[in-house]
Amino acid sequence: MDALAPSSGPVPSPGTSKQAGRSGNIRDWLVTLLIAMIVLLLLNLFVFNLSTVRGHSMQPTLMESQHLLVNKLVYNFHDPGRGDIVILKDPDSKPTSPRFLVKRVIGTPGDVIRVEHNLLYVNGELLNEPYTSSRVEDGDYGPFTVEPGHFFVMGDNRHTAASKDSRYFGSIKAQDLLGRAEFIFWPISEWKWL
């Protein structure tokens, strides 16, 4: 017949072992939550950012209050291309309280930008812009040659005074481009890749 050896320590009451199990589960849950928050923070700092559209300068492509997923790594591997929707530091904002703009890349280094008779030309060619529903209403501009390491950006809304862009503040340094808008993630009914 099998016999049980006597216990050398105190026998835990059933309530004590349940409490120890619960506190272990809570601790595991908190550690998991903390790790997830650290991973999300690191991803937000180095890989992606979330941005909210303010204003109407990118209509009809982007609407006020839409939320965007911004790829912060993409320009570490290649330069912005014509047509990219980018997030940039507002050149008129203070370093202590930076503001950001969302615009479309129209010109890359060396490109010659010109607006004539409400039409946009890049390097002497009329730019095909299926993403905008209006001609440039702010009058003639240029010619303007984009400097090395700079980009010329405009809003998709070309109505009079609708967009504060490179026509007003000049070209943007590459290091002032924070990333490329990749996806509209809010509201859910408007999900789409850009």
| Residue 89 a catalytic site member | no
Cα–Cα distance list, 172 to 2, 152, 182, 191 (Å): 84, 6, 20, 29
Among 17, 23, 51, 57, the active-site one is: 57
The sheet with strand 112-116 has its strands ordered as: 125-126, 119-122, 112-116, 141-145
Torsion 69-72-76-81 (CA) sign: positive
| Residue 173 a catalytic site member | no
Among 72, 103, 166, 171, the active-site one is: 103
As a whole number of angstroms, the longest Cα–Cα distance in the chain is 104
Residues 192, 91: Cα–Cα separation, whole Å: 29
Q: How far apart are the first and last CA of the chain?
A: 76
Q: Which residues are catalytic?
A: 57, 103
